[in-house]
Structure 1
């Protein structure tokens, strides 16, 4: 039976990139295990795309280990469906949103046992795969703002320091979750006469499909309410009120400044000497909320000469490139350009900037 390359609607976007696979092809897997969605690719030693897949979160702290394992198994299974039977993975790198750095042996076994070959798999923080994808190991600061937020700075001798990434309860300033929560708080303050008038309440009621703001309480406090659900509110609110609501604009400005503060702290901790400082912006908030991005860049430039760079590769492709490097494959400019073809196609899927 021929193997199937139609996976979760990805075929129409990526089939022009797929390379034919033989049984002796070396396969390398890169996985971007985010807080909301996870993506996986299989590439060959030249960086050509062999298979792609999408599933849910791999954050085993917020989603639970059984859910994370189920999503990882789905990703790997979807990749396998697109490849010839019995083909072996030579090396895999999994970027996981639950981690600050590399996984312990115990964490890796709990997540990957029976799904990926443990001896040929490395599980790291998703910020590490994003950082490698953005910089390809060169010095700089990578600012990530998606469901959560985190900053990683790497200096000229390869030493890195992290700021943020504490999760939605302890922090994540400037993230989608933070923006959504601040929006809800501002709407409540306006309703109770404690804050400025805002149209946020109307947008939030529409999102939750309720008539009164008080009716969001049962939804938010239900046991199975996930932070990703609230984080998704940030983009909806931005689409409805961006540029027209002073309160929301202030929230976005504060988000940008918070991210800038973290980036500057990380650069100082890493003792980066580069001037201007290369800064890479990664994640849905920075890709789609132009107000957050603009205020972040402005705040950075007030304190440090910076150069905003386009990430060389996405976090997903960064994971694939790390897998190649771990196997001893030289990640040349040609390999990077080949892997980047998938990123270029995927950018078409992004909504316009807000």
Structure 2
């Protein structure tokens, strides 16, 4: 029997599903982050090699038993990026068919089952992607943590650091986020954030993880934290609006699936986003994903 592998390569972790060609998932595995732009080619190759090897050992299969690998990961929108990822996969020893695409595409397949709809992702980074019945597609966001990724965990974390700095300077009012974040990072005062951000080697995942402390400050009544979370929700609404309007999905019943730690687990961001959607797009149903992005990659491998 031939098998397929679907991979969702995220900024924080990678999910892999091994399935047969009848869409039955045989094994689910997990690895480290998978982004060639933030991690580099060698680190991604080493992670995928280990993940594939562990999968095959556990399933008692060889690479020759795998017919197709479909991988959706951030940072592979351009042909040159896809070529790098293709080279990485080939370097693992795999000789079968590959499908390489952005993680938003596999998330859409998983989230809405491959039909018309929209997927909004907000975890470490953020992106919105949609497709209509005419086969037209549109994406918004996903520019990376330096250029964009508004409404993401990184956006919330770096916004918190910015507000702490402004509070220290006397530009903004004091915030509970100062003590929560400094204690979490084991820093003595706000000025040590300079070393943390610029010299400690902290990556976007580490800064994105601070979003949970912003949520904690909000729950304790911190106004600055609430403003950051509401602004994040509004930014996620804006990228969703761009996709819905472009695909003419703004005045018809359609599904918008959400995925990612921020939009799923941060109650203030989620509730404010849903409020904005309900007010402006009453026909759009906001739902959790039907299946995850790794399963979406499986569907793409089988049907694509």
Local SS of the residue matching 1:41: strand
Q: Residue 159 of structure 1 corresponds to which residue in structure 2?
A: 136
Contact 2:69/2:96 (8 A) holds in 1: no
- Report 1:259-270 matches (<5 A): 259-270=236-247
Q: Residue 317 of structure 1 corresponds to which residue in structure 2?
A: 295
Distance 2:93 2:275 in 1: 43
Relative contact order, CA 8 A, sep 6+: which one is greater?
Answer: 2
- Measured after TM superposition, the shift of residue 47 of structure 1 is 2.9
User: 2:179 matched to 1:232?
Assistant: no
- Measured after TM superposition, the shift of residue 219 of structure 1 is 2.0
Q: 1:126 to 1:112 in 2, by over 3 A?
A: same
Partner of residue 184 from structure 1, selected from 145, 161, 169: 161
Distance 2:210 2:93 in 1: 34
Q: 1:109 to 1:142 in 2, by over 3 A?
A: closer
Contact 1:40/1:54 (8 A) holds in 2: yes
Cα deviation code 1:296-338 (max 9, x no counterpart): 1111222222211332111121112222223xxxxxxxxxxxx
Q: Residue 71 of structure 1 corresponds to which residue in structure 2?
A: 47
User: 2:264 matched to 1:282?
Assistant: no
Contact 1:108/1:118 (8 A) holds in 2: no
Cα deviation code 1:87-121 (max 9, x no counterpart): 61011111111123777662243221232535411
Q: Residue 28 of structure 1 corresponds to which residue in structure 2?
A: 4
Distance 1:104 1:188 in 2: 36
Q: 1:234 to 1:194 in 2, by over 3 A?
A: same
Partner of residue 57 from structure 2, selected from 65, 81, 85: 81
- Report 1:201-280 matches (<5 A): 201-222=178-199, 224-242=201-219, 244-272=221-249, 275-280=252-257
Contact 1:102/1:125 (8 A) holds in 2: no
Distance 1:93 1:129 in 2: 9
Local SS of the residue matching 1:62: helix
Q: Residue 57 of structure 1 corresponds to which residue in structure 2?
A: 33
Q: Which runs of 5+ in 1 are unaligned?
A: 1-24, 327-354
- Measured after TM superposition, the shift of residue 183 of structure 1 is 0.8
- Measured after TM superposition, the shift of residue 216 of structure 1 is 2.2
Distance 1:228 1:167 in 2: 12
| Between structures 1 and 2, the one with greater helix share | 2
Contact 2:67/2:96 (8 A) holds in 1: no
Local SS of the residue matching 1:61: helix
- TM-score (normalised: structure 1): 0.80
Cα deviation code 1:36-66 (max 9, x no counterpart): 1111111122333322222212100110111
- Measured after TM superposition, the shift of residue 187 of structure 1 is 1.2
Local SS of the residue matching 2:37: coil
RMSD: 1.9
Q: 1:134 to 1:308 in 2, by over 3 A?
A: same
Q: 1:273 to 1:205 in 2, by over 3 A?
A: closer
Cα deviation code 1:144-203 (max 9, x no counterpart): 101000001211212110000000100111000000011111111112111122101001
